[in-house]
Amino acid sequence: MRAKCFLVLLGMMLFASAFFSLANEKIPENETTVFNETFSWQAMGNISAIYNPSLLKGKDQEDPLDYLGISLLLDVYYKGFFIQSNHRRTSGLLQGAELGYQLVVTPEWELDIISKTYISSYTPKDIIENADKDIPTLAGLKERSAGEGIGLRYSRYHRNSVLSVDFATLAPLSDANGWIIDVFYSYVLPYRNWDIYLSTGYTHYSEKVMDYYYGVNSNEVSAARPYHESDAGNRLQLELFAQHPISKKWSFSGGITHSYYSKSTKESPLVDTQHVTQIMLGVVYVF
């Protein structure tokens, strides 16, 4: 899947690079520093304790998923191409890095081609085995793969804040198909040696996306799981994330994200709740 994602994204990047080359040449010389003309990178190691409950019935309702996450975070920038770890968001750490290419960059706004995981995968068989108990609503249900999407991101920069809007399709890169609109606003509040990020988000999922993850097709019907076609849905998020340096190399990071899903999500026989709260506490080491 990652190889397919890379090939599709690379093709779009090469086309966009040629198409927008004239526009980029018109940027005044004193603004060329906003383009990543030189290679730059940063590698970080992250160790986090994560509380990540699920929407699904029977999963994490009695024993929410608490685990220790260890990951390598990598930020790379080269002539408009980038990989970014998005490590200042709780959900960003859970869903992995973003790949992209900067089409247009100015001090006030930016337009990128972006590829990222918008929805996490789940495997019902593994959930049942890990829970060590029967979960009738998930028994015999097919695996739902990760929602890898590709699209356009518009970012608007203000003092200490950024607003981003993604228009993405899942069709080329995942089995989910459909499309997503993802809006996110973040404001950083410096306080002594703390960087505190106050954020809010809104995500709209098309009918095909919702039906793939929360629908029940005719081959999956059981006594505990009736046939169900999901309607389009949305998610609202509130997030608080904070970072504090411990030493020259180490820093503390912690975040809490509360998500509220629309009624169309709760109507699925697979779903138990409309509310999910994620918590992450950890440390980051900068190499």
The pLDDT of residue 73: 86
Q: Distance of CA 93 to CAs 158, 165, 185, 226, 286, Å?
A: 24, 19, 17, 34, 16
Topology given in CATH for the domain delimited by 2-286: Porin (2.40.160)
Q: Which of 286, 281, 284 is nearest to 67 (CA)?
A: 281
Q: Give residue limits of the domains in the chain.
A: 2-286
Please give the Cα distance from 118 to 203 (Å, whole number).
Answer: 10
90-138 confidence digits (pLDDT tens): 766 667 789 999 999 999 999 999 999 999 889 998 888 887 788 899 9
pTM of the model: 0.81
The series of mean pLDDT values per 10 residues for the chain, 287 residues long, is 44 41 35 54 89 80 60 88 82 78 95 93 87 86 92 95 96 87 96 94 96 94 93 96 94 94 94 92 92
What pLDDT sits at residue 144?
Answer: 93
Q: What is the pLDDT of residue 53?
A: 86
Q: What is the pLDDT of residues 42-55, one digit of tens each?
A: 898 989 888 888 89
pLDDT for residue 264: 92
Structure token digits, residue 87:
């490590």
Cα distance between residue 88 and residue 97, in whole Å: 12
